[in-house]
C-alpha cells in the first residue's frame, strides 16, 4: 500500500490524507481523510474510482449471451452474476420453475462459489492482518508471510478454495467464467468421474471448514476488546431467507431487521425490489448508496453479507453450521453483533454450511441425470436475486420482441454495503487516527475495516449519470492548446478559462 500526505490547502484549511490505492480488495478504490491542524479527523470517505458501464453495454445484446457476459464483472465472484442473470432470464423464457435437476446443479455450483470466495477472502486477503496485527511489518503482511509463519493455515486455505473451484468446474464447465447455467436451466449434468473426485475430499474439507471457524472464533476470544468494537456501527440488515426463515443462499424472500434485531420487512418478493429499495448518488464516488424506501436515506441504509445473513435468518439448515451460528449469537449476549471484524467469523460459518450442502447434493442422483431445461410463455422482463458471497445481488433485465436486452439494472452486494463501509471507516478513523501522527500502520486500520466487508469494487461501479472527463488538446510540439473538463455533475468548462 502507498499513501500520500498532501500539504496543499483544503477547504476550511484542512489537510488531506489519501490511501490510494486500497490493497487486498478486488477492484480499485481509495479513502480520503480531512484533518485539521490538531490532526483531528473531520471527514472520511471511501471513493470508488473505477468506472465499468456494464448496465449500458449489456443493452442491445441477445438475452442468451447475458449470463456469460456479466461474469466479466468480476474474476472472484463470476458464478454469482452467472446465476443471478440466469434466474432473471428464466422468467423471460417462462421457465418458472426450472427443473429439479437444474435447480440442484445450480445450487451445487453456487455453494461451491460461496465457499471458495469466502475461503479466498479469509485466508488470502484478511488473515495477514488478523494473524500478524494491523501494525505489523508491511512486507510480511501478505499471503506469502502467512505461508511462511503458518504453513498449515495457508495450506488449508488454498485447498479449501481449490475444492470450491473444482465444484464450479464440474457444474459450469470451467473454474472461472463457465457456461453451465443458461436461461431456462442448465446445459450439463455432473459426470460420474467428477462426482467421485469431489466426494473423495468432502470429509477432509468439512473438517478443515470446522477448523476455519475455530480460528475465527479463537481470534475473537484472544482479543475481545478489539474484535467487539473495531469498526462497529449499528446498521439495518438485509438478506434472503427461505419461506420457513432458514438461511438460503440461492433463493428466498427478502427480510430486513433493524439494528436492534427487530424485523422491519419480511416475506417480500424479490420481484418487488424496486418498491423496497432506492439508490442515492454522491458526487465523489461512482458507487451508489441504496436504502430502504420505507425508512428514507438517513435511516434506511443497511448491511448485507455473512454478518447480516446469519443474524437475519432463524436458523441454518445444516447441523454443524447451525451449532456454530448459535455460539456466534451467544457472543452477542442477546444483542445483534455489528462489529466489522465479526464478518470473518460469520464468513467461516457459511463456509462450513456450504460444505454440508455440497456433501448432500453430491449424493443426490438428480445432479447426474434428469431434465435440464424448462420453458413456458415468454415475458418481457425478469428479476433474479441471489445471495452472493458478499451479500444480496440483484439482476434486472427487460427484453424486446427481437430477443435483445433493452434495459439492465444491477445492484451488487458491495453497493448495498456502501454506506455501512463508509460508517465503519469513519468509526475506525476517529477511534485510532484522531489526534495522532499518521503512520502506515494506522492507515492500514482503515483498510482492515474495508476488507472486513470483502468488497468487490469492480462489481459495484457500473453506472453513474455523468462520468468525469478530462480532454487535452496538444499542439505539434506537445504544448497545451486547450483543455476541457466535465465534472460528475455533467457541467463542462475550459481549464484555460471560462465555461464551454
Structure confidence by residue, pLDDT tens digits, 203-220: 999 999 999 999 999 999
Query: What mean pLDDT comes out for the span 80-88?
Result: 97
Cα–Cα distance measured from residue 249 to residue 277, given in angstroms and rounded to the nearest whole number: 20
Task: Give pTM, 2 decimals.
Answer: 0.87
Residue 10 confidence (pLDDT) above 70: no
Cα–Cα distance measured from residue 140 to residue 144, given in angstroms and rounded to the nearest whole number: 8
Q: What is the pLDDT of residue 463?
A: 38
Torsion of CA 363, 365, 371, 372, to 10 degrees: 20
Cα–Cα distance measured from residue 265 to residue 239, given in angstroms and rounded to the nearest whole number: 10
- 91-95, 134-138, 271-275: which range is least confident on average? 134-138
Q: What is the pLDDT of residue 483?
A: 64
Give the model's confidence band at 50: pLDDT under 50 very low, under 70 low, under 90 confident, else very high: low
> Containing H/E element for 137?
none
Percent share of the chain, pLDDT over 90:
71
Higher pLDDT, 452 or 473: 452
User: What pLDDT, in 10s, does the model give residues 326-384?
Assistant: 999 999 999 999 999 999 999 999 999 999 999 999 999 999 999 999 999 999 999 99
Yes or no: say if 77 and 390 are a contact pair by the CB < 8 Å rule.
yes
> What 3 state SS string does 306-366 have?
HHHHHHHCCECCCHHHHHHHHHHHHHCCCCCCCCCCHHHHHHHHHHHHHHHHHHHHHCCHH
Residue 200 confidence (pLDDT) above 60: yes
For cell 445450487, the residue is 107
3-state class (DSSP) for residue 217: helix
ω into 97 cis (within 30 of 0)? yes
Instruction: Choose among 277, 360, 280: nearest CA to 317.
Output: 360
Cα–Cα distance measured from residue 428 to residue 448, given in angstroms and rounded to the nearest whole number: 9
Residue spans of alpha helices (H) in 173-290: 192-222, 224-227, 273-276
Instruction: Choose among 351, 322, 323: nearest CA to 209.
Output: 351
C-alpha cell at 37: 491542524
C-alpha cell at 62: 441477445
Cα–Cα distance measured from residue 496 to residue 498, given in angstroms and rounded to the nearest whole number: 7
Residue 469 confidence (pLDDT) above 50: no
Cα–Cα distance measured from residue 348 to residue 415, given in angstroms and rounded to the nearest whole number: 22
Provide the mean pLDDT of the chain: 89
C-alpha cell at 329: 449469537
Yes or no: say if 40 and 434 are a contact pair by the CB < 8 Å rule.
yes
Query: Could you give the C-alpha distances from 303 to 1, 40, 275, 391, in angstroms and in order?
Result: 26, 28, 18, 8
Cα–Cα distance measured from residue 390 to residue 51, given in angstroms and rounded to the nearest whole number: 20
Amino acid at each position: 500500500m502507498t499513501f500520500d500526505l498532501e500539504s496543499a490547502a483544503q477547504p476550511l484549511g484542512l489537510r488531506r490524507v489519501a490511501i490510494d490505492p486500497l490493497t487486498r480488495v478486488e477492484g480499485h478504490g481509495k479513502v480520503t481523510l480531512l484533518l485539521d491542524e490538531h490532526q483531528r479527523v473531520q471527514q472520511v470517505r471511501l471513493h470508488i474510482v473505477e468506472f465499468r458501464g456494464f448496465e449500458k453495454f449489456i443493452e442491445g445484446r441477445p438475452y442468451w449471451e447475458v449470463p456469460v457476459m456479466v461474469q466479466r464483472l468480476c474474476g472472484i465472484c463470476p458464478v454469482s452474476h452467472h446465476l443471478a442473470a440466469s434466474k432473471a432470464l428464466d422468467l423471460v423464457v417462462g421457465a418458472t420453475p426450472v427443473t429439479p435437476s437444474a435447480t440442484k446443479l445450480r445450487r451445487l455450483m453456487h455453494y461451491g462459489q460461496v465457499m471458495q470466495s469466502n475461503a479466498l477472502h479469509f485466508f488470502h486477503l484478511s488473515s495477514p492482518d488478523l494473524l500478524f496485527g494491523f501494525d505489523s511489518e508491511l512486507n510480511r503482511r501478505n499471503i506469502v508471510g502467512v505461508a511462511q509463519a503458518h504453513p498449515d493455515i495457508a495450506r488449508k486455505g488454498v485447498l479449501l478454495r481449490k475444492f470450491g473451484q473444482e465444484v464450479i468446474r464440474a457444474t459450469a464447465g470451467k473454474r472461472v467464467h463457465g457456461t453451465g447455467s443458461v436461461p431456462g436451466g442448465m446445459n450439463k449434468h455432473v459426470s460420474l468421474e467428477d462426482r467421485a473426485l469431489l466426494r473423495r475430499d468432502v470429509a477432509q474439507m468439512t473438517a478443515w471448514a470446522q477448523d476455519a471457524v475455530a480460528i475465527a472464533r479463537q481470534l475473537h476470544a484472544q482479543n475481545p476488546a478489539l474484535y467487539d468494537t473495531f469498526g462497529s456501527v449499528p446498521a439495518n440488515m438485509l438478506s434472503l431467507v427461505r419461506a420457513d426463515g432458514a438461511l438460503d443462499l440461492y433463493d428466498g424472500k427478502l427480510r430486513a431487521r433493524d439494528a436492534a434485531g427487530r424485523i422491519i420487512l419480511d416475506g417480500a418478493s424479490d420481484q418487488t425490489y424496486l418498491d423496497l429499495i432506492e439508490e442515492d448518488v454522491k458526487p465523489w464516488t461512482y458507487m451508489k448508496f441504496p436504502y430502504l424506501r420505507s425508512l428514507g436515506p438517513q435511516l434506511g441504509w443497511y448491511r448485507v453479507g455473512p454478518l447480516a445473513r446469519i443474524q437475519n435468518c432463524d436458523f441454518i439448515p445444516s447441523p454443524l453450521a447451525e451449532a456454530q451460528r448459535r455460539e456466534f449469537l451467544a457472543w452477542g449476549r442477546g444483542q445483534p453483533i455489528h462489529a466489522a471484524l465479526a464478518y470473518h467469523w460469520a464468513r467461516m460459518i457459511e463456509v462450513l454450511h456450504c460444505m454440508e450442502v455440497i456433501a448432500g447434493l453430491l449424493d443426490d442422483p438428480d445432479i447426474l441425470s434428469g431434465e435440464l431445461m424448462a420453458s413456458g410463455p415468454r415475458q418481457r422482463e425478469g428479476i433474479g436475486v441471489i445471495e452472493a458471497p458478499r451479500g444480496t445481488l440483484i439482476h434486472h433485465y427487460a427484453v424486446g420482441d427481437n430477443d435483445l436486452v433493452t434495459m439492465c439494472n444491477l445492484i451488487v452486494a458491495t453497493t448495498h454495503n456502501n454506506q455501512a463501509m463508509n460508517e465503519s471507516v469513519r468509526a475506525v478513523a476517529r477511534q485510532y487516527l484522531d489526534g495522532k501522527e499518521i503512520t502506515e500502520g494506522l492507515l492500514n486500520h482503515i483498510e482492515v475495516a474495508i476488507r472486513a466487508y470483502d468488497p468487490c469494487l469492480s462489481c459495484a461501479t457500473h453506472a453513474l449519470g455523468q462520468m468525469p472527463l478530462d480532454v487535452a488538446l496538444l499542439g505539434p510540439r506537445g504544448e497545451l492548446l486547450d483543455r476541457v473538463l466535465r465534472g460528475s455533475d455533467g457541467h463542462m468548462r475550459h481549464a484555460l478559462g471560462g465555461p464551454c
